[in-house]
């Protein structure tokens, strides 16, 4: 594993909500599995957020690929670039960084899956991409929170601003009671009204964030923690 850090020299304290588009070239060479991920660190006490990722396996040509991703510039930030090889010979290279004053869609399109994560810690934050900057268009992110057995997950929004729509047909946060896209839907939320506190009935909760092709807001920040659930108590009694 190797990494590099890029500290924003041009935008030490930009106060607008506008994003920048980071454009670069990269190479992924070698026979094994290779991945390259760009993380953005924000000074808000969150984990660093993966904002772009690509992976490749098998022999690849020695040619440069083009990559781009939006980055939030609401305050100072730091980017780290982490490359991983599976042990077989190969190398990763990143070059030609360039920033332009705009939001941009991820390239390649699969790079947006960087926002999806499986979370196994007993508590943590989930934030929409680029929070507290504006999220970008055409995103789909899925977070699956898994607690230890007989625990449930409590999930609470602490900040919430999603493009409004009467049926949340444009942008939305969807919460499902279980570990998959097919689990029972607890709620689909948009607008500026805080959704209620949510508690899962089992040890998994799925959160999906989706944005359409126009109009963005600052998105959401949510806190979750796991706690011994009712099923645990019932089992104690039964036993």
Residues found near Ca ion in the complex (CB under 5 A): 163, 170-171, 211-212, 215
Nearer to Ca ion, 169 or 230 (CB): 169
Nearer to Ca ion, 148 or 215 (CB): 215
Taking the complex as a whole, the smallest distance from the CB of residue 163 to Ca ion amounts, in Å, to 4
Taking the complex as a whole, the smallest distance from the CB of residue 26 to Ca ion amounts, in Å, to 29
Taking the complex as a whole, the smallest distance from the CB of residue 22 to Ca ion amounts, in Å, to 22
Nearer to Ca ion, 110 or 215 (CB): 215
Taking the complex as a whole, the smallest distance from the CB of residue 133 to Ca ion amounts, in Å, to 15
Phi, psi of 39 (to 5 degrees): -110, 145
Taking the complex as a whole, the smallest distance from the CB of residue 151 to Ca ion amounts, in Å, to 35
Taking the complex as a whole, the smallest distance from the CB of residue 170 to Ca ion amounts, in Å, to 5
Nearer to Ca ion, 203 or 211 (CB): 211
Nearer to Ca ion, 60 or 137 (CB): 137
For 77-94, give one letter per residue: b (16+ CB within 10 A) or e.
Answer: bebbbbbbbeeeebebeb
Nearer to Ca ion, 136 or 206 (CB): 136
């Amino acid at each position: 594993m190797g990494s590099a850090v890029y500290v924003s020299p041009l935008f030490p304290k930009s106060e607008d909500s506008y994003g920048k588009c980071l454009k670069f070239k990269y190479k992924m060479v070698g026979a094994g599995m290779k991945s390259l991920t760009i993380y953005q660190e924000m000074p808000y006490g969150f984990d660093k957020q993966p904002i772009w990722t690509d992976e490749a396996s098998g022999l690849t040509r020695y040619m440069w690929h083009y990559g781009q991703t939006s980055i939030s510039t609401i305050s100072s930030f730091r980017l780290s670039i982490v490359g991983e090889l599976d042990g077989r010979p190969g190398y990763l290279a990143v070059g030609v960084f360039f920033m332009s004053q705009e939001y941009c869609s991820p390239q390649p399109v699969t790079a947006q899956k960087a926002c999806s994560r499986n979370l196994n810690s007993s508590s943590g934050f989930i934030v929409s991409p680029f929070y507290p900057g504006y999220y970008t268009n055409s995103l789909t992110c899925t977070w699956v929170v898994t607690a230890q057995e007989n625990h449930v997950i409590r999930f609470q929004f602490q900040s919430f601003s999603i493009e409004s729509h009467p049926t949340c047909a444009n942008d939305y946060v969807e919460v499902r009671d279980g570990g998959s896209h097919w689990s029972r839907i607890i709620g689909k939320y948009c607008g500026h009204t805080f959704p209620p506190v949510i508690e899962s009935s089992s040890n998994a909760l799925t959160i999906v964030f989706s944005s359409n092709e126009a109009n963005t807001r600052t998105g959401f920040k949510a806190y979750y923690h796991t706690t011994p659930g009712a099923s645990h108590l019932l089992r104690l009694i039964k036993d």
